[in-house]
């Protein structure tokens, strides 16, 4: 089923794609150096950007908050590419959902993890009385950690948003770079133990609001990588833009003219496909 046969989408209803200056893209989270390094090698080999990063615009400003694609943007910057193609969306679009990931941590013992946690200054660690992983019970709640044995510990800290971000970084630094970690959307222990043979704990976070995200960015702060989870009303994938187009020394307006001509031709050729259902990609 192609684009025109399914929902008769017109060009104006496609995702908003544009080539912009790298200088206009603002990070809200730290980069994962390991992942960006492997992406850099992939981009050099393939010579194309497969999936455009997603950015949010707000309050009429020219600046764009990078919502998804920090590692791709970092890799492209390391290739000295000045322009990048992005998918733009209004940050306050009601269909743009801000959720959060959990972190599945492996190759730690419970005692080792808790010992490292207790070394962080300015936090309170308490064992939860129930197996509820709800993160909305307390504004000072930084994270809940559910271990292999089912016990849950709560980490709280006072202070403003920036202080909480600082604490959050210290918590995630316990396992980043020293053990295996993966982003997950579920907390079922049976499933986690099945998929991660050396499973130690799942670390849960509360979602960051759009207003808090702006505050973090405008305060020149960064969240730890792999926490914010963005759900888009529509998403552009497999655009496959040659890096030579982005690297070419030409005005950004000229590059955007090329982009719009290409999109128009693809609509006319019926070569864009739209899927309603949740889709799993097995080649990422």
Q: What is the pLDDT along the chain (284 residues), one digit of tens a residue?
A: 344 444 445 556 889 999 999 999 999 998 877 777 788 888 989 899 999 999 999 988 889 999 999 989 999 999 999 999 999 999 999 999 999 999 999 999 999 999 999 999 999 999 998 778 887 767 899 999 999 999 999 999 999 999 999 999 999 999 987 778 999 999 999 999 999 999 999 999 988 899 999 999 999 999 998 999 999 999 999 999 999 999 999 999 999 999 999 999 998 888 888 877 777 777 66
DSSP letter at 97? E
Fold of 3-97+230-268: 3.90.1530
User: Which residue(s) pair with 65 in the sheet?
Assistant: 26, 56
Q: Can you give the pTM of this predicted structure? A: 0.86
Residues 6+ apart with CB under 8 A from 189: 146, 148, 150, 202
Helix (H, G, I), strand (E, B) or coil at 219: coil
At 10 the pLDDT is: 55
How far, CA to CA in Å, does 189 sit from each of 112, 151, 203? Answer: 20, 11, 12
How large is the C-alpha radius of gyration of the chain?
A: 21
The pairing of beta strand 199-204 with beta strand 102-106:
antiparallel
Q: How many C-beta neighbours within 10 Å does residue 136 have?
A: 8
Q: How many C-beta neighbours within 10 Å does residue 251 have?
A: 9
Q: What is the side-by-side order of every strand in the sheet holding 152-156?
A: 124-127, 152-156, 141-147, 199-204, 102-106, 181-184
Read off the tokens for 31: 């980069």
Return d(Cα 251, Cα 229) in angstroms, integer.
33
Q: Where are the extended beta strands (E) located within 23-108?
A: 25-26, 48-49, 54-57, 64-68, 83-90, 97-100, 102-106
Residues 6+ apart with CB under 8 A from 169: 30, 224
Cβ distance 226 to 30 under 8 Å? no
Determine the length of the chain.
Answer: 284
Residue whose C-alpha is closest to residue 220's, from 27, 43, 24: 27
Query: Dihedral (C-alpha) 147, 150, 155, 161: value to the nearest 10 degrees?
Result: 80
**Which residue intervals of the chain bear CATH 3.90.1530.10?**
3-97+230-268
């Amino acid at each position: 089923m192609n684009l025109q046969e399914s929902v008769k989408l017109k060009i104006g209803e496609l995702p908003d794609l544009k080539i912009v200056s790298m200088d206009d893209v603002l990070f809200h989270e730290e980069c994962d150096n390991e992942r960006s390094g492997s992406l850099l090698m992939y981009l050099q080999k393939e010579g194309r950007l497969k999936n455009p990063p997603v950015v949010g615009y707000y309050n009429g400003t020219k600046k764009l908050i990078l919502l998804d694609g920090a590692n791709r943007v970092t890799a492209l910057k390391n290739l000295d590419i000045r322009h990048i193609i992005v998918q733009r969306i209004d940050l306050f679009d009601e269909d743009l959902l801000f959720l959060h990931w959990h972190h599945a941590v492996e190759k730690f013992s419970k005692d080792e993890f808790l010992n490292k946690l207790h070394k962080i200054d300015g936090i309170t660690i308490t064992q939860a009385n129930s197996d509820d992983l709800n993160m909305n019970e307390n504004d000072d709640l930084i994270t809940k950690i559910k271990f292999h044995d089912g016990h849950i510990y709560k980490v709280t800290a006072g202070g403003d948003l920036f202080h909480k971000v600082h604490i959050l970084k210290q918590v995630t630094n316990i396992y980043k770079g020293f053990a295996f970690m993966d982003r997950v959307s579920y907390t079922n222990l049976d499933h986690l133990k099945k998929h991660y043979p050396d499973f130690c704990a799942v670390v849960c976070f509360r979602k960051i609001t759009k207003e808090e995200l702006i505050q973090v960015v405008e305060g020149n702060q960064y969240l730890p990588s792999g926490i914010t989870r963005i759900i888009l009303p529509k998403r552009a994938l497999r655009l496959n833009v040659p890096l030579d187009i982005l690297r070419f020394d030409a005005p950004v307006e000229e590059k955007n003219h090329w982009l719009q001509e290409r999109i128009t031709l693809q609509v006319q050729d019926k070569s864009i496909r739209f899927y309603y259902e949740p889709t799993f990609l097995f080649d990422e």
